[in-house]
Amino acid sequence: MLSLARLFPIALAAMLFPACTAVPDAPPPDATPPGRAVRRMAASRLTAVVISSKDELSPWVESRFTQGQGPDDADGGSAVPISPDGYFITADHVLARSAGRNIFIIHGQQGGLKATKARIIWRSASADLALLHIPVATPNHYSWTPPNQWLPAGTPVIHSGIATGFRSEPGKLVTAIPPGRGNAARFKHDIPLEPGDSGGAVIDARGQLVGVNSAVEFLVPLETAFFIESEANRPNVRALQRAIEADRRSNPL
């Protein structure tokens, strides 16, 4: 039997070895920009979150905002469809004033727009991410970029937010997202955002979801603001999928 004096360095080495395993250097980015097909796809999946004390928004939304009365107390932002059965991810701060009010997802449905009440499944203020669900099929949803792959700085991306998503130019990642740990990361890109874009999708040239818009940073030296970069967040994709599967079991359609 080994003595404690001999076991201790062996155990210590076993604990340190994984921590000392080097992460491979990031590969160079694929410079292929998102094409028209990806931009059309992003436009078709553009989704809004509206928070209001109103009980119903459908007549207003289904008339494309021309009939009926819209909410005069609305808060909200953008959201991203991430499953075929009604799960959406957004920025947590979009829900900052949701207590005691209704949360509506405004999404494409059979060639038109539909407003559906949503449930909050999970929120994280520290990650600025939240998971919502509506009891509606959502076949037009995003798949995540693989968690075991690098997303190097310089990777071309576009974004899909309700304020600027139809008119923003493609940009690129400013910070890399390394593989591992489900790819959970806070990262930056160089696409200017506006209020309403929070919670919108950041998408690569293959149409896969990179992350969710969170904030925009400006430099204000005097009276003129200069755009610096935008911030976004990516959840632990594997943990997020486990949360979705647990909610499916608890709330079968």
Q: What are phi and psi of 159, to 5 degrees?
A: -135, 160
Q: What is the pLDDT of residues 53-84, one digit of tens each?
A: 999 998 889 888 887 778 888 899 999 999 99
Residue 166, domain member (yes or no): yes
Band (pLDDT 50/70/90 cuts) for residue 216 is confident
Looking at the structure, tell me whether residues 215 and 154 fall in a common domain. yes
Looking at the structure, tell me whether residues 61 and 94 fall in a common domain. yes
Task: Please identify, among 77, 108, 141, the residue that sits at the C-terminal boundary of a domain.
Answer: 141
Q: Which helix H or strand E contains 173, and what residues bound it? A: none
Task: Please identify, among 77, 112, 141, the residue that sits at the C-terminal boundary of a domain.
Answer: 141
Residue 76, domain member (yes or no): yes
Looking at the structure, tell me whether residues 74 and 105 fall in a common domain. yes
**pLDDT for 109:** 83
CATH number at residue 230: 2.40.10.10
Residue 40, domain member (yes or no): no
Looking at the structure, tell me whether residues 146 and 136 fall in a common domain. no
**pLDDT for 49:** 97
Place of tokens 């990642």: 173
Looking at the structure, tell me whether residues 174 and 225 fall in a common domain. yes
Which residue type sits at 116?
Answer: T
Residue 95, domain member (yes or no): yes
Give the burial class of 225: count Cβ atoms within 10 A of its Cβ; 0-12 exposed, 13-18 middle, 19 or more buried.
exposed
Which residue type sits at 48?
Answer: A
Q: What is the pLDDT of residues 183-213, one digit of tens each?
A: 899 999 999 998 899 999 999 999 999 999 9
- Give the mean pLDDT of the chain: 86
Place of tokens 């709330």: 251
* DSSP-assigned letters across all residues of 25-59: PPPPPP-PPP-HHHHHHHHHT-EEEEEES-S--HH
Rounded average pLDDT over 99-116: 92
Residue 35, domain member (yes or no): no
Residue 54, domain member (yes or no): yes
Looking at the structure, tell me whether residues 193 and 209 fall in a common domain. yes
Residue 49: CA atoms inside 13 Å, Cβ hemisphere, count? Answer: 38
**pLDDT for 69:** 76
The string over 43-61, giving b where at least 16 C-beta atoms fall within 10 Å of a residue's C-beta and e elsewhere, is eebbbbbbbbebeebeebb
Q: What domain range includes position 174?
A: 142-239
Looking at the structure, tell me whether residues 173 and 230 fall in a common domain. yes
Residue 18, domain member (yes or no): no
Looking at the structure, tell me whether residues 90 and 158 fall in a common domain. no
Rounded average pLDDT over 76-103: 96
Residue 246, domain member (yes or no): no
Q: How many domains does the chain have?
A: 2
Looking at the structure, tell me whether residues 128 and 197 fall in a common domain. no
pLDDT exceeds cutoff 70 at 15: no
Looking at the structure, tell me whether residues 109 and 146 fall in a common domain. no
Task: Please identify, among 121, 141, 161, the residue that sits at the C-terminal boundary of a domain.
Answer: 141
Q: Alpha helix locations (H) across the chain?
A: 4-20, 36-44, 58-62, 237-250
pLDDT exceeds cutoff 50 at 113: yes
Q: Can you name the residues that pair with 122 across neighbouring β-strands?
A: 131
Q: What is the pLDDT of residues 124-158, one digit of tens each?
A: 999 999 999 999 999 999 999 999 999 999 999 99
Instruction: Quote the CA–CA distance of 83 and 105 in Å, as a whole number.
Output: 14
Looking at the structure, tell me whether residues 124 and 194 fall in a common domain. no
Looking at the structure, tell me whether residues 133 and 222 fall in a common domain. no
Q: Can you name the residues that pair with 203 across neighbouring β-strands?
A: 158, 209
